[in-house]
Amino acid sequence: MSEVLNKTEEIVKKAKALGADEIIAKTTFGKYRQVRFSNNQVDITVAWNDYVTDVALAWKKRVVATQIRNFHNVDASIERLLGLAKVSKENPMFGGFANGSFKYAKSNADKRLQDLEEPTEYVFEAIGAAEKEVGSQIDSGGILFTKFEDVYLVSSEGPIGVDSRSAIELSIRAFSEREASGHSVECSSTLKDFKPSRAGSKAGQIAKLAKNPKIGDEGVYNVVFDPLIFGSLLSVWAGMASAFSVMVQMSVFVDKLGQKVAPESVTIKDNPASYSIANCVLDDEGVPTKRERHHRPWRA
């Protein structure tokens, strides 16, 4: 067991010894890099490292949480948190943290993304590909983002596990003229599958197609969505599919469980697969992630 996992477990043991009913501690060492660019040039390159332990604690159905960033004072933080739980209010709906002993899949995080210190070359590759499509008048901008996280989770209810999560994302918008632009993204959990020129080319191609736009006629049309646009819509619906959003009625899925909400051809999956940028082998309660969850075909 690693030293970090041991320290995370110590937090759980300490809270239990102080009288907490249930506790989850999750330590994340995060390394994030970002390049922002516009007018075909790099505006800023940003690096941020974050070392944090997220703690959620329950005492007599009172749920409290904290983030610990000062590791010299962990005991005091836990004592304060438990004290807060004791003056908090009971949430009768609280059903406890997930319990059980689980085996997790092996993380496929790409260590090359942990070591990547000069990501600007990928930006120039994307700009170059867009320029090939549009020509020298191109004006492009966007963001390149990389992350590498080591996650260590211990729950008093049994789950204990480690995970590594990696991702690289590029978003590029290319203009062929003031009112003609194309936008594309490229993302991957590994460096070898990341092709920035693919996004650059597509953004450039759309920018070329978008030249000399005319105002269309209002009316009824068939619409074909690019995956990027449909993905944006999906992210809104997926947020509304969270149980909390439904309970507070900030969702179109209120009272829709089991009902038809789309044609039978539509199946929406939420999948933290290893190839996705949201890859993870365990969730924040230590439950192993599944390939498919929440939507059966066409029914909410």
Residues that bind other proteins (CB under 8 A): 34, 36, 38-39, 41-52, 56, 62-70, 77, 80-81, 84-85, 87-93, 117-118, 120, 139-143, 145, 171-173, 175, 178, 181, 183, 244, 247-250
Nearer CB in complex with other proteins: 235/267: 235
Least distance from other proteins to the Cβ atom of residue 103, Å: 29
- Tell me the residue ranges of DSSP E strands in the chain: 22-38, 41-59, 62-68, 139-155, 160-177, 180-188
Find the length of the chain: 300
Do the Cβ atoms of 61 and 90 come closer than 8 Å? yes
Tokens at 78, concatenated: 């836990």
Least distance from other proteins to the Cβ atom of residue 241, Å: 17
Nearer CB in complex with other proteins: 11/281: 11
Do the Cβ atoms of 26 and 280 come closer than 8 Å? no
Least distance from other proteins to the Cβ atom of residue 179, Å: 9
> Which amino acid type is present at position 253?
F
Nearer CB in complex with other proteins: 171/190: 171
Nearer CB in complex with other proteins: 239/297: 239
C-alpha 73/C-alpha 159 separation (Å) is 25
Strand-strand pairing, 139-155 and 160-177: antiparallel
Least distance from other proteins to the Cβ atom of residue 192, Å: 22
Least distance from other proteins to the Cβ atom of residue 65, Å: 5
C-alpha separations of 92 from 62, 95, 244 in Å: 9, 8, 15
C-alpha 173/C-alpha 202 separation (Å) is 10
Least distance from other proteins to the Cβ atom of residue 143, Å: 5
Phi, psi dihedral angles at 106 (to 5 degrees): -80, 135
Contacts of 275 (CB under 8 A, 6+ apart): 188, 189, 190, 193
Nearer CB in complex with other proteins: 44/224: 44
Nearer CB in complex with other proteins: 34/274: 34
Does an H or E element contain 98, and which? Answer: none
Contacts of 155 (CB under 8 A, 6+ apart): 12, 22, 23, 24, 25, 97, 98, 99, 285, 286
Nearer CB in complex with other proteins: 185/281: 185
Residue entry with tokens 């320029």: 131
Least distance from other proteins to the Cβ atom of residue 148, Å: 15
Least distance from other proteins to the Cβ atom of residue 261, Å: 17
Nearer CB in complex with other proteins: 175/194: 175
Strand-strand pairing, 160-177 and 180-188: antiparallel
